[in-house]
């Protein structure tokens, strides 16, 4: 393990001790000698333990450890049902109340990016940040034409900080894969690789601006979701400028109720937005914690979501998208055998998996929660049962789906807080069924063919000269084909097997036909054993061929 990784691990341990998080220290045996040295140092951790409760100490420790740890805190803060109330209340502050960096640094960053003074770029610019998160912070401003905007600015030296912690994650993943029995199945290295792509993409604000523009296009004219406008002339790799949203933060339930918001409709619309993004658009906002979601209540009876922070978005491979949709619909229909079969077909479980056993396991998880509102579902219990199933059937983690699973956790937690009476099943099922009908329609098929027509034409054009050249060489006796010997042997075996099957089929059919004729002629009374023997022999032959 590299020196830099070891140094970072010890630094993590020092921060945990500094904030008196002794339970975490005791759980990591590697650091016990360091723990002793730190505890012997006067004053470390003890004064903080007297002044702060455990939730505050945890939040401060995650904040000091850096963006990757803050993001972990943000993710778990959306699941209040899985956390003690004091810790849930404190971790919520990580969503948009991370300590900011100085406003003059933000100003200097903007001026370097544009090569012009801030006063030339904006009519007004507020150096005091509106909100601060793990990777960037936002400032209020006005464009020269008076439009209200927010200016998002990256924190200084973020790439170096994140790359250092990614090294640590890779080192731990390699150890897990090598020494942990579950390591190969859970594929920790590939999971970290997926996370690396996601978190490094967040450091390019031009990419985030493009994500926002795409999402805005997808929901143009929609009464479900509003996406702010991007002002491209002011955007750079480390600075992004977009329309300012004035809505109510979705976690502020008191203000939403005071405004007369239809909370039930708002919760149902959240489910519709998720399924529309994942299946209809195949482009989904994957960082939907409450700090990034606002509600526009110009018409309280028809509230509309407004999203910000588009650094993390997800897409799915069409094959994964289809399997997910089929799985959802199978669950909605309580067709648990179909769920098990789909897991085998997709390669998510080994091919030798007993479908009937997996069907029973899935039924055990789903039946107790079916048709129940969120408030009556113990998500912690479901997670434990799902972990048991994945271990029992040697289910392999799909790294490409981790982002979607994280988004599902956020959405489910958000719905639980917003409207616990929400029936996810009845809300989601019509949306998904409509998407499946549309996907299988003749119009969609024609559109797909029309989209692929240029590629088919190009392939045909390329094929014509190749066929012409091959025919010319064949006429002159110069055509040569390269075949791998192993492929020839495989082909020969296949032909022999095919020939054997045809011969056996013919014999079996003749025997079966003879036996049936014998029975049909009424000879079975005289020779019943021979007739049944002929039919039985034919049956055995066919069984072997199957």
DSSP track, 529-545: HHHHHHHHHHHHHHHHH
User: What distance, in Å, lies between the first and last C-alpha atoms of the chain?
Assistant: 54
What is the DSSP code (8-state) at residue 323? H
pLDDT computed for residue 541 by the predictor: 45
Q: Which two tokens stand for residue 400?
A: 């490409």
For the CA atoms of the chain, what is the radius of gyration? 31
Give the side-chain half-sphere CA count within 13 A for 522. 0
Widest Cα–Cα separation across the chain: 110
Residue 194, exposed/middle/buried by CB under 10 A (0-12, 13-18, 19+)? middle
Residue that has been written with the tokens 């008196």 in this structure: 20
Q: What angle do CA 386, 387, 388 make, to 5 degrees?
A: 90
Report whether 308 contacts 318 (CB < 8 A).
no
Q: How many Å apart are CA 403 and CA 390, to the nearest integer?
A: 18
Report whether 355 contacts 338 (CB < 8 A).
no
The parts of the chain modelled with pLDDT lower than 70 are 1, 22-50, 81, 183, 378-381, 383-384, 387, 444-445, 447-449, 451-453, 456, 472, 475, 477-546
CATH class of the domain whose range is 103-156+204-314:
mainly alpha
Q: Which two tokens stand for residue 339?
A: 């769920």
* Long-range contacts of the stretch 108-113 (C-beta < 8 A, 24+): 109/153, 109/154, 109/156, 109/238, 109/239, 110/151, 110/153, 110/239, 113/236, 113/237, 113/238, 113/239
What is the model's pTM? 0.74
Q: What angle do CA 241, 244, 248 make, to 5 degrees?
A: 145
Q: Which two tokens stand for residue 172?
A: 């731990």
Q: Which two tokens stand for residue 365?
A: 């998880």
CA 9 from chain center: how many Å? 28
For residue 187, report the phi and psi dihedrals to the nearest 5 degrees: 50, 55
pLDDT computed for residue 378 by the predictor: 65
Report whether 170 contacts 161 (CB < 8 A).
no
What is the DSSP code (8-state) at residue 250? T
Q: How many Å apart are CA 414 and CA 385, to the nearest integer?
A: 22
pLDDT computed for residue 492 by the predictor: 64
Sequence-separated (6 or more) residues with CB below 8 Å from residue 512: 534, 535, 538, 539, 542
484: helix, strand or coil: coil
pLDDT computed for residue 50 by the predictor: 52
Domain ranges of the chain: 1-51, 103-156+204-314, 160-199, 318-439, 499-545
Give the side-chain half-sphere CA count within 13 A for 109. 24
Q: How many Å apart are CA 288 and CA 409, to the nearest integer?
A: 10
pLDDT computed for residue 229 by the predictor: 97
Closest by CA position to 293, among listed 283, 284, 302, 304:
304
Report whether 237 contacts 401 (CB < 8 A).
no
Q: Return the active site residues.
A: 287
pLDDT computed for residue 428 by the predictor: 83
Report whether 110 contacts 121 (CB < 8 A).
yes
Q: How many Å apart are CA 267 and CA 250, to the nearest integer?
A: 10
- Sign, CA dihedral 180-183-186-189, equals positive
Sequence-separated (6 or more) residues with CB below 8 Å from residue 432: 275, 279, 325, 328, 329, 332
């Amino acid at each position: 393990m590299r020196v830099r990784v070891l140094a970072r691990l010890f630094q993590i341990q020092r921060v945990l001790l500094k904030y008196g998080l002794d339970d975490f220290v005791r759980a990591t045996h590697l650091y016990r000698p360091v723990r002793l040295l730190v505890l012997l140092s006067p004053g470390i951790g003890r004064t903080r333990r007297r002044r702060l409760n455990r939730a505050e100490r945890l939040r401060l420790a995650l904040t000091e450890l850096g963006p990757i740890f803050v993001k972990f805190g943000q993710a778990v803060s959306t699941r209040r049902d899985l956390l003690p109330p004091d810790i849930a209340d404190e971790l919520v502050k990580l969503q948009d109340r991370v300590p900011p960096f100085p406003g003059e640094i933000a100003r200097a960053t903007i001026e370097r990016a544009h090569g012009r003074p801030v006063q030339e770029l904006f009519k007004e610019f507020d150096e005091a940040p509106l909100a601060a998160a793990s990777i960037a912070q936002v400032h209020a401003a006005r464009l020269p034409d008076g439009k209200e905007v927010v200016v998002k600015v990256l924190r200084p030296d973020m790439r170096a900080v994140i790359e250092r912690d990614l090294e640590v994650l890779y080192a731990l993943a390699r150890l897990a894969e090598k020494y942990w029995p579950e390591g190969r199945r859970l594929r920790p290295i590939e999971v970290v690789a997926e996370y690396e792509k996601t978190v490094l993409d967040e450091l390019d604000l031009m990419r985030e601006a493009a994500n926002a523009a795409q999402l805005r296009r997808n929901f143009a004219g929609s009464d479900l979701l509003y996406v702010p406008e991007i002002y491209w002339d002011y955007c750079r790799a480390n600075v992004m400028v977009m329309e300012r949203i004035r809505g109510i933060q979705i976690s502020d339930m008191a203000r939403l109720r005071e405004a007369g918001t239809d909370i039930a409709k708002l919760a149902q619309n959240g489910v519709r937005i998720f399924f529309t993004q994942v299946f209809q658009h195949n482009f989904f906002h994957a960082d939907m914690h409450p700090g990034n979601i606002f509600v526009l209540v110009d018409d309280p009876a028809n509230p509309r979501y407004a999203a910000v922070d588009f650094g993390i978005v997800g897409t799915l491979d069409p094959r994964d998208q289809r399997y997910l949709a089929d799985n959802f619909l199978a669950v909605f229909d309580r067709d648990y055998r179909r769920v098990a079969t789909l897991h085998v077909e997709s390669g998510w479980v080994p091919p030798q998996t007993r479908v009937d056993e997996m069907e029973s396991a899935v039924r055990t998880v789903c039946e107790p929660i079916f048709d129940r509102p969120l408030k009556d579902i113990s998500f912690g219990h479901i997670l434990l049962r799902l972990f048991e199933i994945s271990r029992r059937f040697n289910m392999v983690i799909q790294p490409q789906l981790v982002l979607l699973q994280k988004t599902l956790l956020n959405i489910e937690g958000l719905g639980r807080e917003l409207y616990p009476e929400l029936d996810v099943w009845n809300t989601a099922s019509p949306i998904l069924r409509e998407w499946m009908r549309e996907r299988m329609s003749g119009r969609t098929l024609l559109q797909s063919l029309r989209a692929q027509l240029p590629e088919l034409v190009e392939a045909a054009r390329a094929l014509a000269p190749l066929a012409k050249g091959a025919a010319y060489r064949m006429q002159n006796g110069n055509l040569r084909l390269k075949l791998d010997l192993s492929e020839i042997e495989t082909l020969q075996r296949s032909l022999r097997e095919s020939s054997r099957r045809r011969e056996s089929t013919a014999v079996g059919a003749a025997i079966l036909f003879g036996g049936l004729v014998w029975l049909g002629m009424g000879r079975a009374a005289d020779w019943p054993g021979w007739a049944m023997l002929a039919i039985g022999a034919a049956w055995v032959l066919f069984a072997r061929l199957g």
